[in-house]
Amino acid sequence: MIEQVEGGLRVKAPMLIANANALLDAGRRVLGAAARGQAVLDLGGVDEVDSSALSVIFAWQRSATKRGVDLRLRNPPANMISLAALYGVSELLPLA
């Protein structure tokens, strides 16, 4: 679901309500092992999202902040950006 790659982390699964809890747990585990500083999460491999994706990202962001990690998103899918705009939370997405 989430793998460590050079320069950060990569999500390799659809970000849908059906697997939101699994993604949340996987992200928290990976972020828990991250050193203080910045973690870049590449979403370029995510081809499907629904509104639960935003909830997962914001939960990851809170977890990262608690651990002293500045979480940044790279290559968010266009439909995720559209959903964030629709819900009025675009400025909260931690884009790289």
Q: Residue 23, class by beta-carbon neighbours within 10 Å (0-12 exposed, 13-18 middle, 19+ buried)? A: buried
The pLDDT assigned to 96 comes to 85
Range of the domain at 11: 2-92
Q: How many Å apart are CA 92 and CA 4, to the nearest integer?
A: 24
pLDDT digits (tens, 9 = 90+) for 10-69: 999 999 999 999 999 999 988 877 777 888 999 999 999 999 999 999 999 999 999 899
Q: List helix spans (H) across the chain.
A: 20-33, 51-66, 78-87
Domains contained in the chain, number? 1
| pTM metric for this prediction | 0.91
Q: The CATH number of the domain where 85 resides is what? A: 3.30.750.24
* Residue 61 · residue 93 · CB < 8 Å: no
